[in-house]
Amino acid sequence: MACWLMKSEPDEFSIDDLVRTRTVPWFGVRNYLARNYMRDQMKVGDDVLFYHSSCPEPGIAGLAKVCSNAYPDETQFDRKSKYFDAKATRESPRWMLVDVELVRKTRLLSLAELRSIEALADLIILQRGNRLSITPVSPAHWKIINKLLKA
DNA sequence: GCCAACGTTGGC
DNA sequence: GCCAACGTTGGC
């Protein structure tokens, strides 16, 4: 079972929103590598670290799971959406997503705290210049983070 | 608001 | 296919 870190801007969709909705289609990803992770590698049951980005307190805010296979992101077809993509068609959709379901809201494990832990130094989101909204997390990193979330 | 880093676009 | 220009991300 793989583990992933998925960034969301809480202004757009926060962990509290997920507590309300229980599941969410991970709409709006417009980066090919992140799309490929969802389309080609994610499996139902994979673990997800739900991360708040571009906000006053960035960090991991909850645990979730992948709960669907990949399917087309509806927002690419919606002219009124900021995620509309004129080059995408229903016959050949460009953007795929998976559904994510809540496991539980956790304490906020802040970016600063993540950075302070030596064993997490090579976590992808901590690397200089990393901007990817979906990144794989190794089993070793997952174990450490999971423990920290319980603390 | 700044700015480093990176992805995408488009002319050639 | 190269690469400069531009746009976006996201922490600070």
Q: What are the pLDDT digits (tens) for A84-123?
A: 998 899 998 999 999 999 999 999 999 999 999 999 999 9
pLDDT for A151: 77
Q: Range with the lowest mean pLDDT among A60-64, A79-83, A106-110, A119-123?
A: A79-83
Q: How far apart are CA A2 and CA A92, in angstroms?
A: 28
Q: How far apart are CA A5 and CA A29, in angstroms?
A: 14
Q: What is the CATH number of the domain that holds A102?
A: 3.10.590.10
Q: Is the CB of A128 under 7 A from strand C?
A: no
Identify residue A51 by its one-letter amino acid code.
Y
Q: How confident is the model at residue A144 (pLDDT cuts 50, 70, 90)?
A: very high
**Tokens, residue A17:** 């929103």
Full domain range(s) for residue A36:
3-150
For A85, the 3-state DSSP assignment is coil
Number of domains in chain A: 1
Q: Is the CB of A112 under 7 A from strand C?
A: yes
Q: Rounded to 5 degrees, what angle do the CA atoms A128, A14, A101 make?
A: 100
- Answer whether residue A40 shows pLDDT above 80: yes
Q: Is the CB of A54 under 7 A from strand B?
A: no
The pairing of beta strand A71-72 with beta strand A96-97? antiparallel
Strand A23-25: give its sheet, edge to edge: A23-25, A99-110, A59-66, A47-52, A3-8, A134-137
